[in-house]
């Protein structure tokens, strides 16, 4: 990849950087995306499963889908893209990850400052009293229930639900304060998460997209690098190391 001079200048001056990531960064770990080429969106309809009404109608079916995804995620490992982002922590003053993913792979790769906009599949809670159940759940007698009798659900944000306020405002603050804002592996069509790109841009951050294909926000980015995140991000890390050595 040939990086242009403007990008290199921005990179060598930047102090605070944000990585705003979506399902695409985990694709190379073997976790299917929802949209884009090979997305699971086309085969299954996540919007019909990932919503509260579907859960109330058929909790068994929704849990089956989440248990299937949990298994894939447990067997997955962080890839070169997650690892490159974690390495950036040694190269910039402040690195923040704002992710739409629920797979926990950024933390497993060593990223410390992570805001999870859509929850985390490793956690669960009771829909009635909000008690958390983060241990392995027992499905032997049907959908697991809380001590209070309420159904236990995964702690992920479903369509039509609010984002966790503390995670969103933390991510938003880092976004508007950033010098560079990388948008990695997201179709950027899920709001309000995708709005962070425009918030960062409006606040004067330099927006860099990394995706295998053009997206809705490509034309709003200062730079778009097309290719796999697991290939491009390590190249950027190498480039920064060269710049810092000068
Ligand atoms: P999305 O599925 O809508 O889009 C994925 C994007 O990644 C596409 O634009 C695609 O072109 C790109 N992509 C695919 N492989 C790539 C690669 N190797 N390198 C770079 N880019 C690549 O994902 P989204 O925008 O995150 O929105 C979907 C929602 O679904 C999110 O809110 C998220 O919570 C959830 N989700 C999470 C996971 C996960 O945790 N891993 C997986 C699927 C969906
Ligand atoms: Zn309860």
Structure tokens at 29: 């770990």
Active site residue 106: no
170 lines ligand 1 (CB under 6 A): no
Q: Across all residues in the chain, what is the average pLDDT?
A: 94
pLDDT score of 39 more than 90:
no
Provide the phi-psi class of 176: left if phi over 0, else alpha when psi is between -120 and 50, else beta. Answer: alpha
DSSP state, residue 2: -
Tens of pLDDT, residues 176-207: 999 999 999 999 998 999 999 999 999 999 99
How confident is the model at residue 34, as a pLDDT? 79
Tens of pLDDT, residues 137-166: 999 999 999 999 999 999 999 999 999 999
Q: 101, 99, 106: which is closest to 81 by C-alpha?
A: 106
Structure tokens at 157: 């944000």
C-alpha of residue 159 to centroid of ligand 2, in Å: 22
CB neighbourhood size of 19 (10 A): 31
Q: 37, 38, 107: which is closest to 78 by C-alpha?
A: 107
Q: Which atom of ligand 1 is nearest to the CA of 34?
A: 2
Burial class (CB within 10 angstroms; exposed 0-12, middle 13-18, buried 19+) of 2: exposed
SS3 145: strand
In whole angstroms, give the CA distance from residue 215 to residue 61: 32
36 lines ligand 1 (CB under 6 A): yes
What is the CATH class of 1-31+76-118+163-246?
A: alpha beta
How confident is the model at residue 22, as a pLDDT? 97
The count of residues in the chain is: 246
CA within 13 Å, CB half, 74 = 9
Select from 21, 22, 49 the residue to mutate for testing ligand 1; criterion: most ligand atoms less than 8 Å from CB: 22
CA within 13 Å, CB half, 10 = 20
Instruction: Say if strands 223-226 and 206-211 run parallel, antiparallel, or are unpaired.
Output: parallel
Structure tokens at 130: 């909000």
24 lines ligand 1 (CB under 6 A): yes
pTM: 0.95
Instruction: Say if strands 180-184 and 206-211 run parallel, antiparallel, or are unpaired.
Output: parallel
Q: Residue 131 CA to chain centroid, in angstroms?
A: 25
In whole angstroms, give the CA distance from residue 51 to residue 7: 40
CB neighbourhood size of 214 (10 A): 11
Structure tokens at 107: 């933390």
Tens of pLDDT, residues 216-242: 999 999 999 999 999 999 999 999 999
């Amino acid at each position: 990849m040939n990086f242009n001079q403007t990008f290199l200048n921005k990179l060598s001056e930047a102090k605070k950087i944000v990585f705003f990531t979506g399902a695409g960064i985990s694709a190379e770990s073997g976790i299917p995306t929802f949209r884009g080429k090979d997305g699971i969106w086309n085969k299954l309809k996540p919007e019909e499963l990932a919503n509260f009404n579907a859960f109330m109608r058929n909790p068994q079916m929704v849990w089956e889908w989440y248990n299937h995804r949990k298994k894939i995620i447990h067997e997955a490992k962080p890839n070169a893209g997650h690892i490159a982002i974690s390495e950036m922590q040694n190269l910039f003053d402040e690195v923040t990850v704002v992710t739409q993913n629920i797979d926990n792979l950024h933390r497993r790769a060593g990223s410390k400052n992570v805001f999870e906009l859509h929850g985390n599949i490793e956690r669960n809670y009771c829909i009635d009293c909000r008690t958390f159940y983060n241990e392995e759940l027992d499905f032997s007698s049907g959908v697991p229930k809380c001590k209070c009798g309420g159904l236990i659900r995964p702690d992920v944000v479903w369509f039509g639900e609010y984002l966790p306020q503390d995670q969103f405002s933390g991510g938003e603050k880092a976004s508007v304060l950033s010098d560079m804002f990388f948008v990695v592996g997201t179709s950027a069509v899920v709001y309000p998460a995708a709005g962070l790109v425009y918030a960062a841009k409006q606040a004067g951050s330099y927006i860099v997209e990394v995706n295998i294909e053009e997206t809705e926000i490509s034309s709003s980015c200062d730079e778009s690098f097309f290719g796999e995140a697991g290939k491009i991000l390590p190249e950027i890390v190498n480039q920064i190391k060269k710049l810092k050595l000068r």
